[in-house]
């Protein structure tokens, strides 16, 4: 997987024009979901480089990151006359960039694509790093490939289209990046005023967050080692997300990650002596902004089962975690017993 060209845009028109012109293509396609078609496509549709683009639109939300939606994109590309020299622009949040990247990576064994993430979550997580995929069999991102976009264009102007919940969802991934980088960056994130957004300051924090992810992905593009640091909060978070999906009470990905961070930092405190003051500060921040994921001990068996299916597990029957001994002191490939995991859930439910 080649290094992605991540562009922190100060002018969307120029950034998009330059990215499109750098890729020789015969046909141009733009993938949106129904939400970004309405809110975000109007921001780029008048641009000269977008004239003649063929639109492909799918249903929004992670519930629709499915094989059926993927087939819809393949069909639209095929019927639109796409060749191996065509270009797909994925304009949307993480669901669109994940699914669109997978569609581009597999159609005719791979066509070029550009990510234009429109949510904070996709800017700092999904659109960067080259992971693509869909949900399958009730499991998050079960099928996919590593294949980076030719370019990722980050433009903070799209963040003004976000509601507060979706902004918080992306911020949870930024908080994770702070925890795996430096105490200074972690504190910056804890003290940022999420109730009165300073978009210029947020753009600076986004740039820092992306650099944390880029550095790790460049060192380990296919997740054999240190890239697993990016999974902090995700072993439990994905289980929460999958359980919520099963029970038709879908939660935003970043919220699930935030709740997963509380659980996995508790395990880090128990197993790795993660500092209790930093755990308390992080837990308080998450509780204040994200609330709690409601579940009881009757859900433990299913959560354990979902965690056992996690792609990061190295052996059957083991659950693999990324834990911290301190901020930036990362311990990958940590396993925990059923009893330890249930203790973690007991803490979360009673906290």
Strand order in the sheet with 28-33: 5-8, 151-154, 112-117, 87-92, 28-33, 54-58
**CATH number assigned to the domain comprising residue 275:** 1.20.1090.10
- Same domain for 144 and 169? no
What token pair was written down for 304? 């354990």
pLDDT over 60 at 51, yes or no: yes
Instruction: Name the DSSP letter for residue 156.
Output: G
pLDDT over 70 at 138, yes or no: yes
Tokens 């294949």 locate to: 147
- Same domain for 114 and 258? no
Q: Which of 7-11, 147-151, 238-242 has the lowest mean pLDDT?
A: 7-11
Q: Which of 55-64, 107-116, 222-231 has the lowest mean pLDDT?
A: 222-231
- Same domain for 155 and 175? no
CA–CA gap between residue 121 and residue 165 (Å, rounded): 11
Residue 145: the pLDDT is 95
Instruction: Kindly tell me the burial class for residue 69, based on how many C-beta atoms sit within 10 Å of its own C-beta (0-12, 13-18, 19 or more).
Output: buried
- Same domain for 241 and 140? no
pLDDT over 60 at 2, yes or no: no
User: Do 50 and 12 meet the contact criterion of CB atoms below 8 Å apart?
Assistant: no
Q: How many domains does the chain have?
A: 2
Which of 101, 135, 162 delimits the end of a domain?
Answer: 162
Helix, strand, coil share (%) of the chain residues, nearest 5: 55, 15, 30
pLDDT over 80 at 316, yes or no: no
Which of 106, 128, 162 delimits the end of a domain?
Answer: 162
- Same domain for 61 and 205? no
- Same domain for 285 and 334? yes
State the residue range of the domain holding 48. 5-162
pLDDT over 80 at 317, yes or no: no
CA–CA gap between residue 329 and residue 331 (Å, rounded): 7
Confidence of residue 3 (pLDDT cuts 50, 70, 90): low
User: Do 192 and 106 meet the contact criterion of CB atoms below 8 Å apart?
Assistant: no
**What's the mean pLDDT in 124-143?**
89
**CATH number assigned to the domain comprising residue 86:** 3.40.50.1970
Q: Quick one: CA dihedral 76, 81, 84, 88, positive or negative?
A: negative
DSSP string across 201-258: HHHHHHHHHHHHHHHHHHH-TTSSSGGGGGGTTHHHHHHHHHHHHHTT----HHHHHH
CA–CA gap between residue 207 and residue 184 (Å, rounded): 15
Dmax over CA atoms of the chain, in Å, equals 60
Give tens-digit pLDDT for 257-315: 999 999 999 999 999 999 999 999 999 999 999 999 999 999 999 999 999 987 666 66
User: Do 202 and 159 meet the contact criterion of CB atoms below 8 Å apart?
Assistant: yes
CA–CA gap between residue 66 and residue 136 (Å, rounded): 7
- Same domain for 155 and 297? no
Tokens 């976000």 locate to: 162
User: Do 64 and 97 meet the contact criterion of CB atoms below 8 Å apart?
Assistant: no
Confidence of residue 214 (pLDDT cuts 50, 70, 90): confident
pLDDT over 60 at 235, yes or no: yes
- Same domain for 14 and 148? yes
pLDDT over 80 at 130, yes or no: yes
Residue 315: the pLDDT is 62
pTM of the predicted structure, to 2 decimals: 0.85
Residue 311: the pLDDT is 65
Confidence of residue 152 (pLDDT cuts 50, 70, 90): very high
Residue 228: the pLDDT is 92
- Same domain for 146 and 172? no
- Same domain for 143 and 11? yes
Average pLDDT over all residues of the chain: 93
- Same domain for 10 and 135? yes
What token pair was written down for 332? 């990958």
Tally of helices (H runs) and strands (E runs) in the chain? 14, 10
**What's the mean pLDDT in 2-8?**
76
Count of alpha carbons within 13 Å of 36, Cβ hemisphere only? 28
- Same domain for 215 and 276? yes
CA–CA gap between residue 311 and residue 304 (Å, rounded): 14
Instruction: Kindly tell me the burial class for residue 288, based on how many C-beta atoms sit within 10 Å of its own C-beta (0-12, 13-18, 19 or more).
Output: exposed
Which of 133, 162, 191 delimits the end of a domain?
Answer: 162
């Amino acid at each position: 997987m080649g290094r992605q060209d991540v562009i922190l845009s100060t002018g969307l028109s120029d950034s998009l024009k330059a990215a499109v012109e750098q890729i020789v293509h015969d046909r141009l396609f733009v993938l949106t979901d129904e939400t970004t078609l309405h809110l975000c496509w109007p921001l780029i549709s008048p641009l000269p480089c977008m004239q003649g683009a063929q639109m492909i639109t799918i249903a929004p939300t992670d519930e629709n990151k499915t094989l059926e939606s993927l087939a819809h994109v393949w069909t639209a590309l095929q019927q639109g006359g796409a060749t191996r020299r065509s270009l797909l622009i994925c304009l949307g949040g993480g669901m669109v960039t994940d699914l669109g990247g997978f569609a581009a990576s597999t159609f005719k064994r791979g066509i070029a694509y550009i990510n234009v993430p429109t949510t904070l979550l996709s800017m700092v997580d999904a659109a960067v790093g080259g992971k693509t995929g869909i949900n399958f069999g009730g499991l998050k991102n079960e099928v996919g490939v590593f294949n980076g976009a030719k370019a990722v264009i980050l433009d903070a102007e799209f963040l003004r289209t976000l509601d507060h919940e979706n902004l918080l969802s992306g911020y949870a991934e930024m908080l994770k990046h702070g925890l795996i980088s430096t105490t200074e960056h972690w504190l910056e994130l804890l003290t940022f005023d999420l109730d009165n957004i300073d978009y210029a300051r947020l753009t600076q924090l986004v740039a820092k967050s992306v650099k944390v992810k880029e550095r790790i992905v460049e060192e380990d593009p296919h997740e054999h080692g240190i890239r697993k640091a990016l999974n902090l909060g995700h072993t439990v978070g994905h289980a929460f997300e999958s359980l919520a999906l099963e029970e038709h009470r879908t939660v935003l990905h970043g919220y699930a990650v935030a709740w997963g961070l509380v659980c996995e930092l508790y395990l880090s405190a128990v197993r790795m002596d993660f500092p209790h003051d930093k755990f308390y500060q992080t837990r308080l921040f998450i509780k204040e902004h994200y609330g709690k994921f409601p579940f009881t001990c009757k859900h433990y068996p299913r959560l354990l089962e979902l965690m056992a299916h996690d792609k990061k597990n190295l052996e059957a029957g083991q659950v693999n975690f990324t834990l911290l001994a301190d901020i930036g002191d990362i311990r990958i490939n940590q396993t925990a017993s059923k009893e330890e995991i249930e203790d973690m859930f007991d803490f979360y439910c009673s906290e």
